[in-house]
Structure 1
Amino acid sequence: MVEREKAKKISILVPVYNEEDAVLGTIAKIQKTMGDAGFTSFELIVINDGSTDNTGAKLRNTGAHVITHPSNRGYGSSLKSGLRAAKGEIVVITDADGTYPLERMPVLLEHMARNDMVVGARTKTNSEAGFFRRFPKLILKHFASYVVGIPIPDLNSGFRAFRKDVVMKYFRIIPSGFSFTSTITMAMLSDGYQVQFVPIDYFRRVGRSKIRPIRDTISFFSLIMRICLYFFPLRVFVPMSGFFFSLGFLKIIYDFTYRPFGRFVISQSVLFFTLLSIQILILGLVADLIIRRPVGD
């Protein structure tokens, strides 16, 4: 099984944006790691996403296939450009900032013999992320796990391997920003594909982070809600319907308890909350019927 995976064509995608300090070391380590592990049939594709430093110049004569964006389009857009160019059956993605243990790349590929995607799940972090970055990520991870009904150890790890033909089914819903990895994680788990999480370390990056905590956290929440509506609309609409129905029910109890005897009537607010809950539930049922076809069709 392992030898069969080594014989397959593999495409390694590395999106870069202003990574002049780390990109050459990343490329050299990937080439050495893959060669030492016996993976002879692989291509290395580096996507230069409109870098304004010396990244472009340093990518010359590296032996990698370089795709250059004239301007910065975003992480997801870079990976989509790489996917279009990739010739391999299996695609590996990683960052060029020194945060991921590239020596674990062969481990991801070996596990691909039994899976549709293998994700490097970060268990040890030296990234020094503060509470206001870690807490929203924790909430996002638990909410995403609720949506797909499966525990997700790492929702948006950028170090993973997957089958290209599977991910291409979701190409039209993949966003251009940092949500690429979150989207394919939730989409593949939602559709029942085999996804394995392999523990990895995570290190402090070389250079300056491109993450914008507030904006990216809002984008992640928006993404998860959108994915939820794509695949499990009832997991959004049923709790919403139940919430408004509960408000109406509590209002009935309040009116019955505190109104004078003989003067109890159903108030307008009770009717409003009850009808709203019914409408939301019906909307959820209709949405559930609509999405009962594969997203890739």
Structure 2
Amino acid sequence: MNRLSIIIPAKNEGAALVALLPRLRELHPDAEILVMDDGSTDDTRNVCAGAGVICVSAPYSMGNGAAIKRGARAATGEILVFMDGDGQHDPADIARLVARLEEGYDMIVGARSWESQAGVGRGLANTLYNWLASQMTGQVVADLTSGFRVVLAHRFREFIHLLPNGFSYPTTSTMAFFRSAYGVAYEPIKAAERVGKSHIKPLKDGIRFLLIIFKIATLYSPLKLFMPVSFLFFLLGFANYAYTFFDYGRLTNGSTLMWSAGVIVFLIGLVSEQITALTYRHTD
């Protein structure tokens, strides 16, 4: 049987870890449990020591994604389990997610229901991300941003260099798996209300999540993003030409600039597509 490594990124989550760690140890006594302390200033280290759990501390906060990367490197198990340390994810769901790997998948993601979303705004944003990712991949993406996932360790480590240090590691890893034709499945879960205060800042992270939309496209197939934009510039150029031709009987600089922009955007997309292909090239 493959050994589990349960990786928990945590920043000042001591209050939630008090209940989470003993339950994890009870349900998975043979698993390796790693709490990746992201520069916590609370009693996270003491809680881990009391529960007999490995705590790997960073000297300062590097971000949720950075904690995930450090955990993936330190883990010794063949199967990695990523879950939040704020009490939202139920340890009892781990066995159900791991079991799905036996169906031939490389990664199983815990898909939250609408009731489990942290507010209407977050729910609407996640719905938009899921729709866009589904359009890009041609597959049903039930929860693009879920941090509760089970994955084969050797597959996940192929993409560590792509993962950001911030909160969008779930998006990046999911799109990387789809791009590389690795099997991804979704298992319904119910997320509880987090313990303590969220680390997400609405204004700052709202802008960051907006950038995720563009990142989704560029991670999977840049031409699917650049081609429509290029085509739009060409249409605007022709529309402007038709207007100026009938009004002034000549071609204006505006149309020429729009057509030029269309060509430039298309070429940027073409180069991006080649760079993306090189990024996902296997060396093993």
Matched AA of 2:111: A
- Per the TM alignment, residue 151 of structure 1 is displaced from its structure 2 partner at its CA by 2.5
Matched AA of 1:191: S
| Residue 284 (structure 1) aligned with residue 265 (structure 2) | no
- 2:65 corresponds in structure 1 to 76
Kept after mapping to 1: 8 A contact 2:114/2:123: no
| Residue 254 (structure 1) aligned with residue 243 (structure 2) | yes
- Per the TM alignment, residue 141 of structure 1 is displaced from its structure 2 partner at its CA by 2.6
* Higher Cα radius of gyration: 1
- 2:225 corresponds in structure 1 to 236
Q: Which runs of 5+ in 1 are unaligned?
A: 1-6
- Per the TM alignment, residue 243 of structure 1 is displaced from its structure 2 partner at its CA by 1.1
Kept after mapping to 1: 8 A contact 2:126/2:143: no
Change (3 A) 1:286 1:48: closer
Matched AA of 1:115: Y
Matched AA of 1:289: Q
TM-score when scaled to structure 2?
A: 0.92
Q: Report the identity percentage.
A: 31
Helix, strand or coil: the match of 2:49? coil
Change (3 A) 1:117 1:245: same
- Per the TM alignment, residue 190 of structure 1 is displaced from its structure 2 partner at its CA by 1.9
Most deviating of 83-92 and 245-254: 245-254
Query: How many residues are aligned here?
Result: 281
Q: 2:11 aligns with which of 17, 20, 25?
A: 17
Matched AA of 1:145: S
- 2:195 corresponds in structure 1 to 206
Q: Which runs of 5+ in 2 are unaligned?
A: none
- 2:150 corresponds in structure 1 to 161
Taking only aligned residues, the RMSD between alpha carbons, in angstroms, comes to: 1.9
Report Cα offsets for 1:10-69 as digits up to 9, x if no partner: 11001111112110211111122225xxxx4x2111111111112222221312111011
1:254 and 1:227 mapped to 2: Cα distance? 36
Matched AA of 1:277: G
Change (3 A) 1:46 1:285: same
Structure 1 stretches of 4+ with a deviation exceeding 6 A read: none
1:296 and 1:218 mapped to 2: Cα distance? 33
2:5 and 2:195 mapped to 1: Cα distance? 24
- 1:178 corresponds in structure 2 to 167
Change (3 A) 1:47 1:291: closer
Q: 1:27 aligns with which of 14, 21, 24?
A: 21
Change (3 A) 1:192 1:127: closer
- 1:273 corresponds in structure 2 to 258
